[in-house]
Amino acid sequence: MNIDGQPYRTIFPDPDGVSVQVIDQTRLPFAFELKRLATLEDAAVAIRTMIVRGAPLIGVTAAYGLALAMRADASHDGIDRAVATLAATRPTAINLRWALDRVSTNLRQVAPDERFARAFAEAGRIAEEDVASCRAIGAHGSQVIADLHRAKGGDRPVTVLTHCNAGWLATVDWGTALAPIYAAHERGVPVHVLVDETRPRSQGAALTAFELNGHGVPHTVIADNAGGHLMQHGGVDLCIVGSDRTTASGDVCNKIGTYLKALAAHDNGVPFYAALPFSTIDWTLDDGVKEIPIEERDGREVTHMTGRLADGGFATIEVVSPGSPVANPAFDVTPARLVTGIITERGICEASAEGLYGLYPERRKAA
Ligand SMILES: CSC[C@@H](O)[C@@H](O)C(=O)COP(=O)(O)O
């Protein structure tokens, strides 16, 4: 997608052929900076500190991280160590494990001196596939928006509420939840996006708003607690969120606060969709609430906020009564019964085992 008219992806090979460049998302929306990742440690730090974030992008970065590790140690032990280091960076997004499994399986089939090139190329293929998947999610999901526009009389924009950032910054390009919105906007269907601020890290206010601004998509940033009230008063036509891990039964794990929006949507008859690529589905799990590991992040994300001062400088300020204990679970699980449908690169299905296996019949055989 574009930044100041120039097309970018969130991660791309450096011209030197032995490293990658990423957009530093900890600096957005106020500064646009690229960061070069040249080693396993660079990639692990980038994922852990959320220089890169969003489930699909974490997966692609881990794949490149494994490739970069092969430059230092391409032995079997080296593969194991790199996989363990990268897998430990963030626990919830299954795309991370999925990408590491795919690249490491591939690597073990070739001699050590071929492993860097093999892994770098495989990471590039994963990135390309992610772009294609997200583009397809956009095409399928935009139909939902277009249908709703027509069903509501066609004389006003469709108001779509989204949570966190599941846009192009969370993937390699296009995004998951925002891809249908971009596609609808491009095909002339009027949309207005309600952007949940998404405390504590404010991915909605900082990143989703930045993206939508960059593409001229009308939007309004709202406080996290406003969604229920707006739904009660007919101010939301549709919710679309992303996912970090979706079970084979259709439970959707996404940024903390998603579940509350799904409850409010259910209570108010607002359709609630999750948009995700196949790499986000964990076919080994059935009960998302019991089985998906929820990342617990540093309490400092709750007690402090970073932003821009009137003079243009940056400051981190304390916002919680000093000494109060804090908790910071980073994700929650929305049970399938609250999800109207899952938008994937293969089409849209019911949030259920039947629905998902219907779209991915080859997985039924594997199960
Ligand atoms: C297309 S990304 C879907 C999710 O990864 C997104 O909604 C989300 O929760 C991101 O969480 P983050 O903690 O910013 O990595």
How much is the mean pLDDT over the chain?
97
Whether the pLDDT of residue 209 is over 90: the answer is yes
Residues labelled catalytic: 244
Count of other CB atoms within 10 angstroms of residue 3? 13
Looking at the CA of residue 276, tell me the nearest atom of ligand 1: 1
pLDDT at 246: 98
Structure tokens at 162: 């989204």
* Burial (0-12, 13-18, 19+ Cβ within 10 Å), 207: buried
Could you list the residues known to form a binding site for substrate, using ranges.
53-55, 90, 203, 254-255
Whether the pLDDT of residue 5 is over 90: the answer is no
Whether the pLDDT of residue 318 is over 80: the answer is yes
Percent of the chain with pLDDT over 90: 97
pLDDT of 188-207, one tens digit each?
A: 999 999 999 999 999 999 99
Plot region of 50 (φ>0 → left; ψ -120 to 50 → alpha; else → beta): left
Spell out where 17-154 has E strands. Answer: 20-23, 34-37
Residue nearest to atom 9 of ligand 1 (CA): 255
pLDDT of 117-173, one tens digit each?
A: 999 999 999 999 999 999 999 999 999 999 999 999 999 999 999 999 999 999 999
Whether the pLDDT of residue 367 is over 80: the answer is no
**What integer is the mean pLDDT of 333-354?**
98
Of the pLDDT bands very low, low, confident and very high (cuts 50, 70, 90), residue 1 is confident
Q: What is the pTM assigned to this prediction?
A: 0.97
Whether the pLDDT of residue 366 is over 80: the answer is no
Residue nearest to atom 1 of ligand 1 (CA): 166
* Distance between first and last Cα of the chain: 37
pLDDT of 69-116, one tens digit each?
A: 999 999 999 999 999 999 999 999 999 999 999 999 999 999 999 999
Rounded to the nearest whole angstrom, what is the distance from the C-alpha of residue 293 to the centroid of ligand 1? 15
Structure tokens at 181: 């919105």
**Cα→Cα distances 29→11, 41, 51, 103, 285, Å:** 17, 26, 13, 32, 36
pLDDT of 36-70, one tens digit each?
A: 999 999 999 999 999 999 999 999 999 999 999 99
Residue nearest to atom 10 of ligand 1 (CA): 54
Position with higher pLDDT, 9 vs 5: 9
